[in-house]
């Protein structure tokens, strides 16, 4: 940043170039020229705006990061106005239709699509790492019989760091790579064990003859049969859901992974932070909230009353609205198709009628139109999960399995980014200062 006085000395004149922002500090009358790069200014440039030499400098105040880019990223592109989502430049629609989750995970982590040999090797590596240490089972046994599976997943993925202490060597590429494989491979196993514990059923070991989603279904549903054979249509629907949830740039859980990972902790601990963030009802817990909302609405006749309540501010229409998408969420469109395919196998869920009618009414209502509120990825995903026989508690867990690929890709990108340091926001202190301590008996 240059001040006007410096510019004149440089012979540049007071005229600013078009890629800069000219700021006048009315406190001092000084002018500053701040470079604009990629539609942003560096917040640290503002620190140069001071009223006197010892002044800390100007800061930005941005609760919830409404207008702050925290990193440069080559992983996921979103155009919220146009409803565009791309992983590494590939449109989500093409990936959902033509790719597989493991190929998408490779794409996210490596930055490009694999050739046949690379994909086979990647798939093989992930498949042979699906088993978890036997002590994990005992660890799981310690949870109450009805523990929420997301809480168990959160704890057990964090606990993995104790089984692989070498994972702290995050600068060692080889060590790092094996943790990536382990995380993608073991997440479904931990998720399924959490489910089985919650159901009081014995844990099922991975079946490495099956596909990634097929193996997950087997670990969830297998009982006395010698071999579980997943319905290929359900296997495919689950794979598509994993693809749709694989990454979504700097959302709450990804930011949590990056923020915690910026302390250079091992990736299991960083991913545990992501699982924790995803647990919340405004993030990965939204599909659970959608299903509970649809169950509560009960019949399409109750929809108008419900919508009026939302407009009065009594509650939110869960599964609607998004911080970034202000036109439509492209994932919601793909999921809606997948819902139809799953219901061909499982039979239609009457809640689908309520969801469809609710969507129709909301999309015609001024309240939702003015606020640009559209169905998000979670509006229909809960219906598929329920059709697959999953209890609502498992919904965020399924989300976490897919999102693990994105969390890891984002974590890797952060580790290699020379501009990143430990995440440490500033604050505006609003409390008291310099109070005199009063002994308790005198208060
Ligand atoms: N139902 C009713 N009104 C809503 C909804 C909703 N779902 N979402 C936003 N609004 C209203 C707000 O009340 C606000 O109205 P106002 O201007 O009169 O005060 C306006 O729309 C703007 O909303 P914000 O809360 O400022 O939007 P923000 O970007 O902060 O929130 C969020 C986005 C959290 C997703 C929000 O829309 C929401 O809570 N939706 C429901 C939960 C949900 O479905 N979450 C899943 C998100 S997708 C995901 O995580 C995978």
Determine if residue 313 is left, alpha or beta; phi over 0 gives left, psi from -120 to 50 gives alpha, anything else beta: left
Domain count of the fold of the chain: 2
Distance 322 CA to ligand 1 centre (A): 6
The reply to whether 324 and 396 lie within a common domain is: yes
The reply to whether 98 and 61 lie within a common domain is: no
Dihedral sign for Cα atoms in the order 294, 298, 300, 306:
negative
Residue 383, domain CATH: 1.10.580.10
Q: Ligand 1: which residue has its CA nearest to atom 39?
A: 282
Q: Ligand 1: which residue has its CA nearest to atom 18?
A: 371
Q: Quick check: is 431 in a domain?
A: no
The residue out of 40, 69, 98 marking a domain boundary is: 69
DSSP H stretches of helix in 262-322: 267-278, 286-297, 303-312
Dihedral sign for Cα atoms in the order 322, 324, 327, 331:
negative
Mutate to test the pocket of ligand 1, among 308, 321, 398 (most ligand atoms within 8 A of CB): 321
Q: Quick check: is 29 in a domain?
A: yes
Angle 188-332-93 from CA coordinates, rounded to 5°:
80
Determine if residue 16 is left, alpha or beta; phi over 0 gives left, psi from -120 to 50 gives alpha, anything else beta: beta
Residue-by-residue pLDDT tens, the chain, 443 positions:
555 444 433 333 344 468 999 999 999 999 999 999 999 999 999 999 999 999 999 999 999 999 999 999 999 999 998 999 999 999 999 999 999 999 999 999 999 999 999 999 999 999 999 999 999 999 999 999 999 999 999 999 999 999 999 999 999 999 999 999 999 999 999 999 999 999 999 999 999 999 999 999 999 999 999 999 999 999 999 999 999 999 999 999 999 999 999 999 999 999 999 999 999 988 887 888 899 999 999 999 999 999 999 999 999 999 999 988 888 899 998 998 888 889 988 988 889 899 999 999 988 999 999 999 989 888 988 888 988 889 889 999 999 999 999 999 999 999 999 999 999 999 999 999 999 999 999 99
**Nearest atom (ligand 1) to Cα of 323:** 29
The reply to whether 105 and 197 lie within a common domain is: yes
The reply to whether 59 and 144 lie within a common domain is: no
Please report the pLDDT score of residue 17 as a whole number: 62
The reply to whether 298 and 203 lie within a common domain is: yes
Distance 304 CA to ligand 1 centre (A): 19
Q: Ligand 1: which residue has its CA nearest to atom 27?
A: 323
Distance from chain centroid for Cα 316: 21
Give the span between the Cα atoms of 359 and 60, in whole angstroms.
38
Please report the pLDDT score of residue 13 as a whole number: 39
Instruction: Give residue ranges with CB within 6 A of ligand 1.
Output: 282-283, 286, 310, 316-323, 371, 373, 376-378
Q: Is 378 a catalytic residue?
A: yes
- What distances in angstroms separate CA 26 from CA 32, 35, 51, 404, one per listed residue? 11, 20, 10, 48
The reply to whether 105 and 59 lie within a common domain is: no
Q: Quick check: is 62 in a domain?
A: yes
The reply to whether 39 and 103 lie within a common domain is: no
Please report the pLDDT score of residue 341 as a whole number: 84
Q: Quick check: is 251 in a domain?
A: yes
The reply to whether 59 and 98 lie within a common domain is: no
The reply to whether 63 and 185 lie within a common domain is: no
Please report the pLDDT score of residue 377 as a whole number: 87
Distance 321 CA to ligand 1 centre (A): 5
The reply to whether 138 and 51 lie within a common domain is: no
Q: Quick check: is 434 in a domain?
A: no
Q: Record the pTM.
A: 0.90
Q: Quick check: is 323 in a domain?
A: yes
What residues contact 323, with CB distance under 8 A and at least 6 apart?
none
**Nearest atom (ligand 1) to Cα of 316:** 1
- What distances in angstroms separate CA 116 from CA 119, 120, 121, 122, one per listed residue? 5, 6, 9, 10
The reply to whether 51 and 92 lie within a common domain is: no
The reply to whether 59 and 93 lie within a common domain is: no
Question: Which residue range forms the structural domain that includes residue 32?
Answer: 3-69
Q: Quick check: is 378 in a domain?
A: yes
Catalytic residue among 133, 283, 365, 417: 283
């Amino acid at each position: 940043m240059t001040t006007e006085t410096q510019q004149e000395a440089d012979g540049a004149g007071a005229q600013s170039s078009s890629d800069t922002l000219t700021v006048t500090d009315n406190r001092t009358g000084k002018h500053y020229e701040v470079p604009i790069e990629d539609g942003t200014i560096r917040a640290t440039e503002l620190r140069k705006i001071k009223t006197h030499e010892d002044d800390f400098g100007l800061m930005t105040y941005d609760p919830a990061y409404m207008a702050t880019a925290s990193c440069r990223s080559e992983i996921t592109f979103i155009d919220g106005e146009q409803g565009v989502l791309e992983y590494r430049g590939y449109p989500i629609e093409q990936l959902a239709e033509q790719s597989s989750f493991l190929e998408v995970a490779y794409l996210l982590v490596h930055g490009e699509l694999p050739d046949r040999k690379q994909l086979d090797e990647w798939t093989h590596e992930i498949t042979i790492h699906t088993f978890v240490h036997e002590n994990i089972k005992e660890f799981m046994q310690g949870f109450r019989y009805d523990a929420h599976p997301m809480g168990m997943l959160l704890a057990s993925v964090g606990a993995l760091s104790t089984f692989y202490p070498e994972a702290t060597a995050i600068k060692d590429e080889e060590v790092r790579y094996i943790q990536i494989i382990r995380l993608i491979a073991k997440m479904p196993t931990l998720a399924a064990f959490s489910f089985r514990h919650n159901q009081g059923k014995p844990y099922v070991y991975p079946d490495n003859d099956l596909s990634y989603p097929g193996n997950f279904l087997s670990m969830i549903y297998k009982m006395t049969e010698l071999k579980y054979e997943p319905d290929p249509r359900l296997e495919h629907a689950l794979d598509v859901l994993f693809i749709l949830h694989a990454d979504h740039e700097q959302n709450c859980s990804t930011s949590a992974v990056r923020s915690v990972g910026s302390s250079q902790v091992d990736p299991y601990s960083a991913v545990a932070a992501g699982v924790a963030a995803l647990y919340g009802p405004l993030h990965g817990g939204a599909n659970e909230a959608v299903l509970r909302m649809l169950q509560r609405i009960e019949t399409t006749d109750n929809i108008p009353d419900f919508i009026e309540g939302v407009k009065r501010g009594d509650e939110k229409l869960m599964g609607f609205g998004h911080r970034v998408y202000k036109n439509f969420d492209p994932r919601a469109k793909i999921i809606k198709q997948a819902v139809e395919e799953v219901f061909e196998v499982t039979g239609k869920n009457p809640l689908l009628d309520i969801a469809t009618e609710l969507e129709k009414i909301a999309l015609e209502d001024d309240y939702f139109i003015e606020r640009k509120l559209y169905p998000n990825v979670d509006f229909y995903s809960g219906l598929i999960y329920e059709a697959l026989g999953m209890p609502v508690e498992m919904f965020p867990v399924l989300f976490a399995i897919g999102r693990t690929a994105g969390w890891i890709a984002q974590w890797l990108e952060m580790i290699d980014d020379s501009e990143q340091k430990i995440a440490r926001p500033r604050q505006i202190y609003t409390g008291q200062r310099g109070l005199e301590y009063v002994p308790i008996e005198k208060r």
